[in-house]
A and B are shown apart, each in its own frame.
Chain A
Amino acid sequence: MKFAVLRFPGSCDEVDALMACRRFGAADLIWHGDRDLGGPDAVVVPGGFSYGDYLRAGAIARFSPAMEAVSEFALAGGPVLGICNGFQVLCEAGLLPGALLPNVSLRFICRQVDVEVANSDTPFTRACAKGDRLSIPVKHTTGRYYAPGAALDELEARGQVVLRYGTGQNPNGSSRDIAGVCNAQKNVMGLMPHPEHAVDRLTGSDDGGRLFASIAAHVEQLVPA
C-alpha cells in the first residue's frame, strides 16, 4: 500500500500528511512539477496555501503537472483524498462538486470539532460506521462548502455527503453542515477538517486515522496479498 502526497510551493501540511500516511502504509512526497506520481495506490492532496493562494484558494494548483496526473489517476478509479487546500484544489479541478467560500466570520478558524460520518460506504470511511463522531481539527479561512440547493439534494440522495459537522459545531457556515463530500464514483473525496492532525492521541485525537485506515483497507482489498 503506497500513498503519494503532493507538495506544492506553499503547501503547509504535506509533511504532516506524509507522516500520517506512513502510519498506514508507505508514502512519498511528489513535487508539483512532477507528472510521475510514482505508481501510488492512493493520492493525498494536502493542506496549505498552494502557490500562496493569492488568486483564489486552489485556483493555480489545479494547473500543475502533478495535478494533471492526479486527474488521470482519479478518472481511472484511484482513491484521491483532498484535505483543506487539497479539497479546494479538487473542486477547482472539477474532480469534486461544489465550491469553498470564505468563512461566514471572514476569519481564519482553528478549532477541534466533531464531524459525523454520513456515509460509511466509501473508500475513505469504510472503517467507520454511519453516525460515528470523529474529533478532528479544522483550520482555514475559506472552508464554507457551497453548492446550489438542487445540487445539494442530489449529493445527499446519492450518498456523496460523507461527513457533516456535529450539531452546533459548523465553524464556517457550510451548506447543510457539510464537512466532506465525494464524487459520484466515490473514489475522490475532499474535506475541510484535517484528519492528518488527528492520528495520535498525544496531540489531541486519533480519530482521523480511521480515514487513512479506510483507504488502506480499500486498497488492500483491491490487491489481495
Chain B
Amino acid sequence: MKKSGIIGSVLVALVAGGALAAFAIAWRPAISAIDPPAPQSFDPALVKRGRELAAIGNCADCHTVRGGRDFAGGLQVPTPFGTIYSSNITPDAETGIGSWSEIAFRRAMRSGVARDGQHLYPTFPYDHFTNVTDDDDQALYAYLMTRPPVRAAARQNQLPFPLDRRVVIAGWKLLFLRLGTVEPDLNQSAEWNRGAYLVEGLAHCGACHTPRNALGAERTSARFAGGEADNWNAYAINSRSPSPVPWDTEALFAYLRQGFHPDHGTARGPMAEVVSNLSSVKESDVHAIATYMAGVFGAPTPERKRQGDEVLAQAKFSSSPVALTDAAGAAIYAAACATCHETSRPLPYGGVNLALSTPISAPDPRNLVNIVLSGVRPVEGERSPIMPGFAGSMNDGQIAALVGYLRARFSNQPAWTGVENTIADARRTQTVFLQTSAGPANAPADPTQRDKR
C-alpha cells in the first residue's frame, strides 16, 4: 500500500470515528408515544404532592403567559442569544406532553431531552432539575398529566444559526451539564440537606441568582453572586448580599413564606411569583430552603452585623435628612414618597423604611428605577403590597434626582453612575414589568375536580 493510501485510510478512520463520537454525544433515541393516561389513573395523593413540587419549581411562571391557560406555554423568554418560547406542558397529545411516558418526562428533567429525542435548550433549567429524584419526578408527572389539556402549538424560537440547530445543545451539555451535583452532607442536619436538595434542584434558585458565563451557563466559581431575571437584578444571595441588614434563617423563612420581612421589605418583581408559590407548600420545605440558604449567606462578619444593627436602630427613628446633596431629589422624596415610607404603618401595607431597602444599597440602580416607574401592582386574588408607579408623572431628570438623593441618604454606598441610561432602558421595557399571575393556585390538585374550574 502506498504511503498516501495509508494516510488516506487513517484520515477516513479519524473522520468516521469523530462522526461516531459526535453522533454518540448528540443522538438520543425517541421514546415511543403513548396515549394520554386517564387522569383517574393517578393516585390523588401523588398528584397533590406533585402540585406542591410544581409550586416549588415555579413551573407555571415560565410555562404560562399572563392571562393564558395554565402550563400551556408560549411565554417569550429573551436571552442574550435570541428569543426562546416556553413549551406547552399540559397533557395535550399533539401540542403538549400528553404522549410522553413517565420515562420520557424523567429523561427531560434529568438530561434535557424531549420525547422525540431532540435536545432542549437550557432555558429549561435541567442543569438543576437533573438533581430531582425519581419519586419527585413521578409526582410532578402525575400532577402535570392531570391538568386540563390545552391545544397550543409551540411558537418558533428566534435564534441565529447555528444556535437554531438543537444538536449544538449536545456540546453545551458536554461542557456544562453535570449529573447528580447534590450529594448529601452527613455533617449537616436533615433539614439542611433537604434545603440543599430543593435549592440546587427543583427550586433552581441559582438560575437567576448566579451570574452566567458567555455561553449562558451558571458560573460555578460565583455561585449565588447575583444574576438577572426579566430586566431585574437578582441580588447576590451569598456573603456579597447588598442587603443593609444581614439575612438569617428566620428572616429568610418569613420572607419566602409570607413575601415580606420588616427588616428587608417585600418581594416583588419576578420574586413575587416565587414567594406566592412558596406560601402554598409545606412549611417545613420553606424552612429547609431558608436553613440551607442561611448557610450560603454565611454568618455576617462582626463589622457587617454592627452596621446592620445601626441601620435597624436608625430606621426606628425617622432621622432628619443629612447633608442635602440634592435639594430637588429631597423635595420629591418629601412630597411623593415620605407620606407612605415614613409612616409607621406596618408591612406589607405601609412602605418599608428606605434605610432597610436592598435596591437602594444594591450595586446597580435597576430595581429601584423599575419600582419608581411601575410601582407595585396588587396581585389578583391575594393580599399584597401596593405602590403607585410614577412613570407618567416624573420625567427622567426628576427620577434621576430622586434616585440620587435616595442613594445618598439611605445607603452608605458610593453614588451610582449611568443612572440616566438605566432610566431610559427601564422605560423601554416597563410594559413587561411586575407581571404576576395567580399561577397554578387556581388549578385544583384533585384530578376529579379538573372540570370544575
To the question of whether A and B form a pair in one complex, the answer is no
